[in-house]
Amino acid sequence: MKGIKIVVIGGGSSYTPELADGIIRKHPVLPVSEIVLVDINDGKEKCEINTALLKRMFAKADLNTRIHMTLDRGTALTGADFVITQFRVGGLEARAKDESIPVKYDMIGQETTGPGGFAKALRTIPVMLEICRDMEYLCPDAWLINFTNPSGIVTEAVLKHSGVKCIGLCNVPINMKRMLEEHLGADKSRLHCRFTGLNHLSVIKNVYLDGRDVLGEILESPIVKREIVSNIPSVDFSGDFLSSLGFIPSPYLRYYYFEKQLLAEEKEKLEQGHGTRAREVMEIEKKLFEMYQEEELDHKPAELSERGGALYSEAAVELIDSIWNNKSAIHIVNVPNGGAVPELPQDCIIETNCIVNREGAVPLTGGSLPEGIIGLIQHAKAYECLTIEAAVSGSKSKALAALINNPLVHDVPAAIKLLHELLEANNKYLPQFHERR
């Protein structure tokens, strides 16, 4: 059986041991013969630490998978079968700005939604397209599995502006489904959840247990009201509210439904000097990498769960398995709409249930969006499309149009000032905007 070469761009990420753990567990059916961790010079030390840890993990599993790292992306990509992207342009310092600057203008500060997600997309898309150009030349048959946020926007940019085969991935859907499996005491094969919408703006419109739709029962369950992702503030959904919606919302919808409350909490944390989630993650990562350096550590540490990203490895490795082994399994991923959601453009990226095999991912036709979410999702998709255009063109007018169309931006004069500050704060990472346009 041919060995698989996996290239991980952003190999210095604290998530890397999570990914490696999944690859080890899946080795009987997914014979990975080589893993190359790639990073830039700023991430070199962390990448070296991860490389050493992965070697210990694979040695413990008695696997002779070749593990190595490089700062030369071209060398790494040559002959790759799968490329996994998990990088962060500007690092956690840039994330801290994404989370703090918008709050000054009375807007939510978050790394993937609102103005913070907008800034992150502007930084990320040009770098991702450079990677794609390398892939087109060095590994044209490889699959790009994108975990880099904002995953839906970045994946759409790749598929609109390159010839690379790409599927976007997020760990939120698999965590939502796992939560329901545990609540119902059901094996995953018995439970089918129908997801629809956009990345970090998706909903579960149906829940089938042994073929019976139990959504109504689930909406009355306390587990749905208190559903938590580690990097999202905990705010309860009331039973009346969920019943009125008629669907299970992604945890990220809290930023839209409880915007004033969460903004007030963000302001209070900053005023009290507690910093943002990025500052918390910096402390978590400092401890994690100290742990990763311990020579006796030869497994994924439990403390990694504090970082977020739970079930990332399972989602990524199961997806690769479905492609490599032509399984035609169902995965919730980010793919071109192709008419699956009639309220959105055919070529835009949606997050939904797909059949995945060696040909790629094909969305299952799920019908219309729930009425209670159509407007918000169409609004957000307009913002996403404009953001991609701005990131690719370097047009400040297009960037302003994108920011104004973000559902978490409500004031044009404030948006104009905010855009100026975001571009200045990210000047180093936004060469496309250096010329006045």
> Per-residue pLDDT tens for 29-77?
999 999 999 999 999 999 999 999 999 999 999 999 999 999 999 999 9
Residue 269 in domain: no
Confidence of residue 229 (pLDDT cuts 50, 70, 90): low
Q: How far is CA 327 from the centre of its chain?
A: 24
* pLDDT for 278: 93
- Point out the least confidently predicted range of 9-23, 54-68, 344-358, 422-436: 422-436
Any domain includes 111: yes
Task: With a cut of 70, say whether residue 254 has pLDDT above it.
Answer: yes
Number of domain units in the chain: 1
Domain contains 211? no
Please, are residues 348 and 168 in contact by the beta-carbon 8 Å criterion? no
Q: Per the domain annotation, does 225 fall within a domain?
A: no
252 part of the active site: yes
Active-site residue, from 15, 105, 252, 429: 252
3-state secondary structure string, 236-282?
Answer: CCCHHHHHHHCCEECHHHHHHHCHHHHHHHHHHHHHCCCCCHHHHHH
**Reduced to 3 states, what is the DSSP secondary structure of residue 308?**
coil
In a domain, 119, yes or no: yes
Q: Is residue 101 part of a domain?
A: yes
- 75-99 residue pLDDT tens: 999 999 999 999 999 999 999 999 9
Please say if the pLDDT value at position 121 is more than 50.
yes
Residue at 203 is within a domain: no
User: Any residues with CB less than 8 A from the CB of 124 and at least 6 apart, and which?
Assistant: 87, 89, 148, 149, 150, 154, 391
Pair 37, 69: CB distance under 8 Å? yes
Q: What is the mean pLDDT of residues 145-163?
A: 98
Binning pLDDT at 50, 70 and 90, where does residue 367 land? confident
| 152 burial type by CB count under 10 A (0-12 exposed, 13-18 middle, 19+ buried) | buried
Determine the Cα–Cα distance for residues 363 and 365; give it in Å rounded to an integer: 6
Amino acid 235: pLDDT? 79
The range of the structural domain enclosing residue 92 comes to: 4-169
Predicted local confidence at residue 239, as pLDDT: 75
The CATH number linked to 77 is 3.40.50.720
- Give the residue-averaged pLDDT of 359-370: 93
Give the predicted TM-score (pTM) of the model: 0.96
Residue 66: phi and psi, rounded to 5, are -80, 125
Report helix, strand or coil for 363: strand
Which residues does 221 contact at the CB level (< 8 Å), separation at least 6?
183
Could you give the 3-state DSSP secondary structure of residue 320? helix
Residue 378 lies in a domain: no
Query: What pLDDT sits at residue 50?
Result: 98
What does pLDDT average to over the chain? 94
Dist CA 4 CA 23 (whole Å):
11
Residues of the chain above pLDDT 90, percent: 86
pLDDT in tens, 380-417: 999 999 999 999 999 999 999 999 999 999 999 999 99
